Chains A and B, each alone.
Chain A
Amino acid sequence: MKDLLLEIGTEEIPPSFLAPASNLLEEKFCQFLTDKRIAFGAVKSFYTPRRLTILISNVSEKQKEERLEIQGPPRKFAFDEQGRPTKVAIGFANSHKLKASDIYFKQTQKGEYVFIKKKAEIKTIEQLLQDNLSGLITGLQFPKTMRWEADKVRFARPIRWITLIYGTKPVLANVAGLKSSGFTQGHRNNTRKKISITNVKKYKETLKKYDVLVDAEDRKTYIKKQLHILSQKVKGKTVEDEELIEEATNICEMPNPILCEFRPEFLNLPAPVLITALKTHTRSFAVRETKTSKLSPYFIAITNTPKCDVKQVRYWYEQAVESRLDDAKFFYDEDVKFGLVNRVEEEKKVVWIEGLGSLFDKTARLEKLVVVLSQRIANVNNSLLLKSAYLSKADLLTNMVREKEYTSLQGIMGGIYAQAAGEHELVAKIIAEHYLPKSADDKLPETPEGSILSIADKVDNIVGAFIVNAVPSGSNDPFGLRRQAMAIGAICLKKQFYFNLSEIIDLSFEYFGVAQNDKLLQTIKLFFIERMNALLLDKKITYDTTNAVLAISDINTLDAYERAVVLSEFRKQPEFEPLVVGQKRVNNILKGISESFFVREDLLIEPNEQILFNQAKALEASLNYEVSKRNYKKGLELLLTLRPAIDGFFDKVLVMTEDENYKNNRIGLLQYVKSLFMKIADLSEIVI
């Protein structure tokens, strides 16, 4: 039992690839050891841009013993009638270096066969690594891979060394054209010397001596600590950004945060611009004044050179940042001078989606959509909403948002420019938040108007994408249509928006001015219903309750959710189960009957069918009332009162009677009862 160290030395791997690759390596390596019957203890994984490491304690020296059962030829060929082994049996035994007397028989699906048990070959851990390591490493997956030699090996970036040590000795294996050794390398800017690892247990400490913090947690902790200390020096606090901390952690082997400064005049730039400029260009952190929470003219650059000439490095980082801020200031001033409203006209020149007209056309559709949406939603400032829709895409034409570095500020810049142009504060807010939520866990728009514009924009995106057949398939959803459809539902729930999206989809399709296509419309609606389904499941509604409400609901997330919540609660009552059983029976009988029948009272001859009809008839009006008031609980309670009558009907009345008239009339009665239940949910979907 000794410790095993594997370090894959590479050129700088992209920061976002590191953690997943490290997890995958650990998983695959442990699987490999388990498959090969090698016992092992605790596992630790580390990574930096230049290395993926796995350190495993107490790895056994060789494979655990195992006896393998090997199937031979059929018994009838291997043994003669007297039960003596034939040449076939002897040959089989010999080929495994055993005797015919070791053979035994076993019945298989194809008849009786001979078998033999043989000790599996025992390999040492070194042998196993030599045989398997290359495949294991080159089999690691990354979002993007490359080749760097004439061979077919692919990896995120070139592999340049392999450190492989078992106990105290290096293990020699061939990996991607390299020979493994007991040597590693230190920080690139520290030394070009090879570093010998003599004690696997001291791996971390050894690397630290050569300016490598191999544990990402150590780097992150250090960065956070320094951010705190440095920003306090100027009475400030770092602008929090987990994503940026993660990135900074993963582009360093030895982080060295440096406090820098820019000319205070740049503080006139909007805060999101400053923060984004610092983040995207130099991966630096903005600093706020602790007292006022306003941005201060400082930033913290996370360099990767621990003993650098701080003054010189700081000077150039400041130069780099100021030249970018100069650009940003130029864009900002030009954009404000030009005016947001004047960009709307320019939208005509920009293709939105190939084949679906310009960005201006999109804006025009949004204006129509927000009008129809606001007719369905109370307490909306219509004129400001319309104005916002008109201006909503104009920022895409501004100098700022057209720059790759600032595209993430779409919407936000629109809001800022709207305000600079003297638009109403609400207009600025609506524009700023209409792209929300940008990811599954992002915040939702706050204002009802921003929520409406967000819904309109997303419906238009989805319907448009379906028209040009850019639809999601499998894990491929380049436009994030699934996320956008879910977002629409989430907004409706949060803002208590109650409307049938189906109508909006119809109108949205119409506004594109393409040929009517009912099949496509159906596909789009099914897509939305699937997403509604996913959203309800996310909200911890069970799948059968979800099915029960979606079977009857319009595309109205809030309505489906309310029904589902009531139904989930109602399910706990003991009377509920028989009600479901009743519905399932009704459904079974009606299965395959496409014709609808109207109930004729004169044909209701059995008392039990009269009772059911009369009771159902009696509660229909109240049921309609409760449903219209979305009192689904009361509605269910009403339906529950039908239970004895339904049971009585099934006990005493034969539906499939010989006489067509009676039969059809009874079918009509069941169809009528079913229609009452279907006002709330399809209970036959419930699993009991």
Chain B
Amino acid sequence: MARINTKNIKLRSKKSDVKITTFQDIVFKLQQFWAKHDCVIFTPYNSEVGAGTFNPATFLRVLDKKPWRVCYIEPSKRPRDGRYAQNPLRVQQFWQMQVVLKPTPHNIQDLYLKSIEALGISLKKNDIRFIEDDWESPTLGAWGLGWQVELNGIEITQFTYFQQIGGLDLEIIPVEITYGLERISMFIQNRKSIFEVQWNKDYTWGDIYRQNEVEFSKYNFELANIEFHQNLFNKYEKEAEHLLSQGLVFPGYDCVIKCSHAFNMLEARGAISVSERTNYIARVRRLARQTAVAYIKSQKPIQP
């Protein structure tokens, strides 16, 4: 049987034939696009998070009734996903581009598609579609309805209308758009491995992160001290409760994030049984809820 010829296909637009669109170009272009649409261009959080949703710029800001538009990159740490840099598609830390718009503009899907076009991806030549995928974070007590966006069968974005955060119903519904930057780069640059993605003209993703991946995989799976992380979890849990009870939302939430990461580390180390897992998740969720409640309380206008 003849194999269908897939070689020698022009996979890039004319421009990028001359100059490749690098990983950092993609970041810039998305930031420029969303800056034009009134987003605050923000920074990643200064602590380990599993997803951009944990950043207070999302988790806390979506809770109040004030309009908010933000765009930031976030390194997502998933200790369990490390593969010692041996798997071309799985890494324990990857990059998300997070966009949150509150309230949601009516033409949000169209805006999103324009951002994809801004990256030089043609909507007419490629098969882009919105496939049902409801998002849920049990630890954050958060869920929403939406889609994963697929580009020629490859998932490139999670698109969610938040309904509940910290167990609380949201009055103003925000949309969260999370671009998978490595996936988009691999498509634009026609790469089969995350490690081969061109970060700028001189460095690949692998040049920058390979050693990091190998060492963190070893740490997450083999060397992380279990007792130490159990201690961390318990102590941060106590600290979070104390701070939140004093009305200190941001420092309190910071401890919740640390708890969540300690839990992820313990899970990667295989130190948590199935029944314990449910219990740990419930503990983080309880803190997330306390945080949400404390934040909303702190937003009440202060009487002069």
Interface residues of A (CB under 8 A from B): 11-12, 14-15, 49, 144, 146-150, 157-158, 160, 188-190, 192, 234-235, 251, 256, 259-261, 281-282, 284, 296-297, 301, 303-305, 307-309, 311-321, 323, 349-351, 354
**A188 near B89 (CB under 8 angstroms)?**
no
Give CA–CA (A313, B4) in the complex, Å. Answer: 13
B268 at the interface (CB under 8 A from A): no
Whether A316 contacts B187 by the Cβ 8 Å rule is: yes
A43 and B287 CA atoms in complex are apart in Å by 54
- Report B's interface with A, CB cutoff 8 A: 1, 3-4, 6, 9, 11, 88-89, 103-104, 106, 109-110, 113, 122-132, 134, 144-145, 147, 151-154, 161, 163, 171-173, 187, 192, 273-275, 278
Give chain B nearest CB distance to A24 CB in angstroms: 19
CA of A311 to CA of B130 in the docked complex: distance in angstroms? 21
Cβ–Cβ contact A321 & B11, under 8 A = no
Residue pair A350, B106 in contact (C-beta under 8 Å)? no
A307 partner residues in chain B, CB cutoff 8 A: 124
- Given A157-B145, A260-B4, A349-B273, 4 more pairs with CB closer than 8 A: A259-B4, A313-B125, A316-B187, A321-B153
Using known A-B contacts A192-B110, A261-B4, determine if residue A316 contacts B152 with beta carbons closer than 8 Å: yes
Which B residues are in CB contact (< 8 Å) with A296? 1
Closest to A321 in B: B153
Residues of A within 8 A of B145 (CB): 144, 146, 157
Give A284 to B60 CA distance when docked, in angstroms.
40
How many angstroms between the C-alpha atoms of A234 and B122 in the bound complex?
Answer: 30
The distance from the CB of A455 to the nearest CB of chain B, in whole angstroms, is 27
Nearest B-chain residue to A302, judged by Cβ: B127
- Alpha-carbon gap, A261 to B4, bound state (A): 7
The answer to whether A158 and B124 touch across the interface, beta carbons within 8 angstroms, is no
Given contacts A148-B173, A261-B3, A312-B9, contact A14 B161 (CB under 8 A): no
Q: Which of A251, A297, A321 contacts B131 (CB 8 A)?
A: A251
Identify the closest chain A residue to B131 (Cβ): A251
B152: which of A12, A251, A261, A313 is its contact (CB, 8 Å)?
A313
Q: Please indicate the chain B residues that have their CB under 8 angstroms from the CB of A284 in the complex.
A: 153
Q: Which residues of A contact B274 (CB under 8 A)?
A: 349-351
Question: Inside 8 A of A315's CB, which chain B residues have their CB?
Answer: 6, 9, 11, 152
B290 to chain A, nearest CB (A): 24
A305 to B123, CA, bound (A): 9
- CA A160 – CA B4 in complex, angstroms? 41
Question: A251-B131, A319-B192, A320-B152 are known contacts. Are A148 and B104 too (CB-CB below 8 A)?
Answer: yes
**B contact face: mostly helix, strand, loop, or mixed:** loop
Residues of B within 8 A of A158 (CB): 104, 161
A133 to chain B, nearest CB (A): 19
Q: Are A354 and B275 touching (Cβ within 8 A)? A: yes
Provide the bound-state CA to CA distance between A321 and B150, in Å. 13
With A148-B161, A301-B153, A354-B275 known to touch, is A308 a contact of B4 (CB < 8 Å)?
A: no
User: In the docked arrangement, what's the CA distance between A144 and B144, Å?
Assistant: 11
Report if A304-B127 is in contact (Cβ < 8 Å); known contacts: A144-B134, A314-B6.
Answer: yes
Q: With A11-B109, A147-B163, A351-B273 in contact, is A316–B124 under 8 Å at CB?
A: no
Are A308 and B126 in contact, with the CB atoms below 8 A? yes
Cα distance A349–B270 when bound, in Å? 11
Whole-angstrom distance from the CB of B119 to the nearest CB of chain A? 15
Which residues of A lie under 8 Å from residue B131 when comparing CB positions? Answer: 12, 251
- Kindly provide the distance from the CB of A233 to the nearest chain B CB, expressed in whole angstroms: 10
Our pick among B4, B89, B103 for the contact of A323 (Cβ within 8 Å) is: B89
- Asked if residues A316 and B134 are in contact (CB atoms below 8 Å), the reply is no
Bound complex: CA A11 to CA B159 (Å): 12
Contact A317 B134 (CB under 8 A): no
A304 touches B129 (CB 8 A): yes
Complex alpha-carbon distance, A205 and B129, angstroms: 23
Interface centre among A150, A284, A296 (most CB of B within 10 A): A150
Q: Is the CB of A305 within 8 A of B9?
A: no
Q: Are B171 and A150 in contact (CB under 8 A)?
A: yes
- Please provide the 5 A-B residue pairs with the shortest distance between their CB atoms, ordered closest to farther: A316-B152, A320-B153, A14-B132, A309-B125, A303-B127
What B residues does A14 contact at CB under 8 A? 132
User: Could you write out 7 A-B pairs with CB less than 8 Å apart?
Assistant: A147-B161, A150-B171, A160-B106, A256-B127, A303-B152, A315-B11, A316-B153
Bound-state Cα–Cα, A309 to B13, Å: 13
Given A312-B152, A313-B126, do A150 and B3 touch, yes or no (CB 8 Å)? no
Shortest Cβ distance from A217 into chain B, in angstroms?
Answer: 21
User: Are B128 and A189 closer than 8 Å at their CB atoms?
Assistant: yes
Q: Give chain A residues whose Cβ lies under 8 Å from the Cβ of B154.
A: 316, 319-320
- The answer to whether B126 touches A305 (Cβ under 8 A) is yes
Which residues of A lie under 8 Å from residue B106 when comparing CB positions?
160
Q: How far is the CA of A234 from the CA of B2 in the complex (A)?
A: 9
